[in-house]
Amino acid sequence: MEHNPFIRLLLKLKIINPNKKFAAQLRKPHGQLANYVGQQMNLGNRGLNEFMYKNINISNGDAILEIGYGNGHFYKEIFKKSPQAKISGIDLSKAMYAEAIATNADFIANKKLNLHCGSSDALPFADNSFDKVFCVNVVYFWQKPENHLKEILRVLKPNGKFFAGIRTKETMQQMPFTQYGFAMYTPDEWEAIVKQNGFKNTSFIPNTENEVGFNDEEIVLHSACVWGEK
């Protein structure tokens, strides 16, 4: 069985409470472990990212904002399918920002990509800037989601859409690190929060991903794409 390689590394380094350390790194990769964490997030999030891209349906000419781009690994795949899209991104981690800038230097030079480091509850963009805003495995870390959703609503164009890729509460509760600072939701619960904060025409599509190993058990990853419209 394949077990979480990051936890194995922390155990090897004799880190006390490796699950708590892992949770902190997932929220904001930092320090000497940041690049390794980014690589592991690429592996763990690939299936959900691909599911999200299919449902977001990024078109040429769309102005897109991604919240929580990590090391920017997947941008080349978005531009391959939609070469005329204009993408901006914001991420809380300075380490991920630096790596994403280096990884996507050509896209940035050609003004296809505009990356920022900061928090999504204070977005550095003008009102009505984007056709679509999306995030993948990010909303668990929003202590006050209403502040982030207010900002997303502000920067969306009229009738623009916000998409959030989340793993279900039942799935997340089976992961030992999620007891440290994760807010977990069912798709219905997250949809209700989006609706309560000013979005209309809310809905979601469920998804089943691959199995992963945690604590000698295999977990089937259940997730969803949840969206709302301005």
**Phi and psi of 69, rounded to 5°?**
-85, -5
pLDDT at 13: 47
Residues 77-116: tens digit of each pLDDT: 999 999 999 999 999 999 999 999 999 999 999 999 999 9
Q: How many helices (H) and strands (E) does the chain have?
A: 9, 7
Which of 184, 198, 178, 194 shows the shortest CA–CA distance to 226? 194
Q: Is residue 136 within 8 Å of 165, Cβ to Cβ?
A: yes
Q: What angle do the packed helices 34-56 and 5-12 form, to 10 degrees?
A: 170
Within 54-199, strands assigned E span 63-67, 86-91, 113-117, 130-136, 156-167
Q: pLDDT truncated to tens, each residue of the chain (230 aa)?
A: 344 555 455 444 455 567 787 788 788 888 878 887 888 788 888 999 999 999 999 988 899 999 999 999 999 999 999 999 999 999 999 999 999 999 999 999 999 999 999 999 999 999 999 999 999 999 999 999 999 999 999 999 999 999 999 999 999 998 888 999 999 999 999 999 999 999 999 999 999 987 665 555 678 889 999 999 99
- Please measure the distance between the N-terminal and C-terminal CA atoms of the chain and give it in whole angstroms: 44
Cα(24)–Cα(55) distance, integer angstroms = 29
Which of 140, 125, 66 shows the shortest CA–CA distance to 96? 66
Q: Which helix (H) or strand (E) holds 203?
A: strand 200-214
> Count of CB atoms within 10 A of residue 121's CB?
16
Nearest 10 degrees: Cα torsion 175, 179, 183, 184: 30
Question: If you ran DSSP here, which 8-state letter would residue 123 be given?
Answer: -
> What's the angle, vertex CA 54, arms to CA 48 and CA 60, rounded to 5?
130
Q: 86: which strand partners?
A: 63
